[in-house]
Amino acid sequence: YKKITTNSVQEMKRNGEKISMLTAYDYTLARIVDAAGIDVILVGDSASNVMAGHETTLPITLDQMIYHASSVVRAIDRALVVVDLPFGSYQGNSKEALTSAIRIMKESGGHAVKLEGGTEIVDSIERILKAGIPVMGHLGLTPQSIYKFGTYTVRAKEEAEAEKLLEDAKALEEAGCFALVLEKIPRKLAKRVAESLEIPVIGIGAGPDVDGQVLVLHDMLGMTHEFHPRFLRRYLDLYDQITGAVGNYVSDVKNRDFPNEKESY
Ligand code: KIV
Ligand code: NA
């Protein structure tokens, strides 16, 4: 694929090719991630935690999401860029949801939006889709509802919640979502959802039997030390490497080793 579109990720599912997705929030890292061959970049509202140091995703604003998304969009040549609608920008009513989605598309240049929730937000999703804006769904552990859940543990382990999730997934597909994220649910339930939907299902902590995987970039690069859920595989230990590099710089400056003759004019 030369440029990834919502159609290409759907084609990947039909062809049995797994979809790769990572978050990015800024120009420099998005440029690297895009050039490395990622299929989908998510400008996640996890920027609230990763970029701004908030405890939850709730505080990040639509203006801040647009700032992050526009930085990412300027960086990419190939990836599909999906942007989270932040908490408070779509739950009021479908008109508000549409207005927020339009602002993201117009002001950031992103290619699609993602919303958390099932049947409760189907009217908003339909309205956004009618405006020609592709929508990705998000079910399971939906962090914007953390104060309803009270915990970040695995969702839908009980039959009732699992059945509701299956119904929600079908409703999102029927409404016209082009793909669906499932966060932190049992592997077997995720498999059932992926098998019962035609649209691609992208998992985070949802096991291998889905159509693609997503991780938070800073987590998989090992920049966040305190966070180690079992679903997280670390591909680098950037926390330690950066600590070493900064430590070396500090001592080079203190020891008058930096800058040397060649590094001076
Ligand atoms: O904001 C985010 O990073 C996300 C992914 C974890 C799916 O929504
Ligand atoms: Na998110």
CA quadruple 70, 76, 82, 87: dihedral, nearest 10: -30
In this structure, the residue with its CA closest to atom 1 of ligand 1 is 44
Residue-wise pLDDT tens digits, 138-173: 999 999 999 999 999 999 999 999 999 999 999 999
Rounded to whole angstroms, the Cα distance separating 34 from 51 reads 19
Closest ligand 1 atom to residue 183 Cα is 7
Answer whether 50 contacts ligand 1 (Cβ < 6 A).
no
Residue-wise pLDDT tens digits, 178-209: 999 999 999 999 999 999 999 999 999 999 99
Q: Helix 62-73 crosses helix 27-35 at what angle (to 10 degrees)?
A: 50
Check residue 225 and give its pLDDT.
87
Of 19, 23, 185, the one to substitute when testing ligand 1's pocket (max ligand atoms within 8 A of C-beta) is: 23
pTM of the model: 0.98
Closest ligand 1 atom to residue 45 Cα is 1
Answer whether 219 contacts ligand 1 (Cβ < 6 A).
no
Check residue 226 and give its pLDDT.
86
Burial class of 168 by CB neighbour count within 10 A (0 to 12, 13 to 18, 19+)? buried
Burial 194-233 (b: 16+ CB within 10 A, else e): beebebbbbbbbbbebbbbbbbbbbbbbbbbeeeeeebee
100 is in an annotated binding site: no
Collapsed DSSP state (helix, strand, coil) of residue 22: strand
Q: Residue 265, Cβ neighbours under 10 Å: how many?
A: 3
- β-strand partners of 81: 41
Collapsed DSSP state (helix, strand, coil) of residue 47: helix
Which of the residues are catalytic? 183
| CA-based nearest residue to 25, from 6, 50, 4 | 50
114 is in an annotated binding site: yes
